[in-house]
């Protein structure tokens, strides 16, 4: 994971094979995607759409809502401090 422009970005794999960057939001109840082609290819059902205000505060992007998406986090170091948590 990394911290970028006030977002926590996590590298995940969709259905174990397709790498994606995920904005990690602990309050989010759903997964919102902007490019639905990968979900269509993997036959993951979408549950609706939502308009999301763009960074310019003038335009909107169409987001597609999905639930119970099979995401796996990328394996990385044991923690970000270089320790293996052994005491």
Within-domain flag for 86:
no
Higher local confidence (pLDDT), 45 or 29: 45
**87 belongs to a structural domain:** no
Q: What is the mean pLDDT of the chain?
A: 79
Q: 31 in a domain, yes or no?
A: yes
pLDDT at position 79 is 46
Judged by average pLDDT, the poorest of 1-10, 17-26, 36-45, 76-85 is: 76-85
| Bridge partner list, 60 | 53
- Residue 6 lies in domain: 2-73
Alpha-carbon dihedral of residues 17, 42, 55, 52, nearest 10 degrees?
-150
Q: Is residue 32 part of a domain?
A: yes
44 in any annotated domain: yes
Domain membership flag for residue 84: no
In a domain, 14, yes or no: yes
Number of compact structural domains in the chain: 1
* Per-residue pLDDT at 82 exceeds 70: no
pLDDT of residue 76: 56
Does the pLDDT value for residue 55 go beyond 70?
A: yes
Domain-embedded: residue 82: no
């Amino acid at each position: 994971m990394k911290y970028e422009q006030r977002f926590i970005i996590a590298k995940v794999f969709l259905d174990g094979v397709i790498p994606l960057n995920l904005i990690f939001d602990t309050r989010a109840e759903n997964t919102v995607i902007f490019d639905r082609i990968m979900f269509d290819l993997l036959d993951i059902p979408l549950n609706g759409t939502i308009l999301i205000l763009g960074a310019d505060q003038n335009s909107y992007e169409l987001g597609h809502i999905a639930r119970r998406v099979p995401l796996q986090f990328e394996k990385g170091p044991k923690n970000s401090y270089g320790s293996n948590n052994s005491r």
